[in-house]
Amino acid sequence: MEKCAKCGTTAEEILQTGFVGCEKCYDLPTVKKAVEKLFNGKIHNQKGDN
Ligand SMILES: [Zn+2]
């Protein structure tokens, strides 16, 4: 199971609660997919924002 490198929250946890631990959690592929579904495009995609 994927795990956030920054805060240690697992993708499973995030899927169950619907909450991420930090912004890095969105880097997990599973979470990325899930949030797109959960929030239905409410969250802006920040591609290449460094
Ligand atoms: Zn995190």
Q: Please give the pLDDT value at position 28.
A: 95
Task: Say which residue the tokens 């609660």 belong to.
Answer: 17
Q: Distance between terminal CA atoms of the chain?
A: 26
CB-side neighbour CA atoms (13 Å) of 5: 4
Long-range CB pairs of 26-30 (<8 Å, 24+ gap) are: 28/2, 28/3, 28/4, 29/2, 30/2
Domain-wise residue ranges, the chain = 1-44
Q: Please give the pLDDT value at position 36.
A: 81
Record the pTM: 0.66
Q: Please give the pLDDT value at position 42.
A: 57
CA of 47 to the centre of ligand 1 (A): 17
Which tokens sit at 10?
């697992």
CA of 3 to the centre of ligand 1 (A): 8
Q: Please give the pLDDT value at position 41.
A: 55
Helix (H, G, I), strand (E, B) or coil at 7: coil
CA of 9 to the centre of ligand 1 (A): 6
Across the 50 residues of the chain, what is the mean pLDDT of every consecutive 10-residue run? 94 89 93 78 58
CA of 2 to the centre of ligand 1 (A): 11
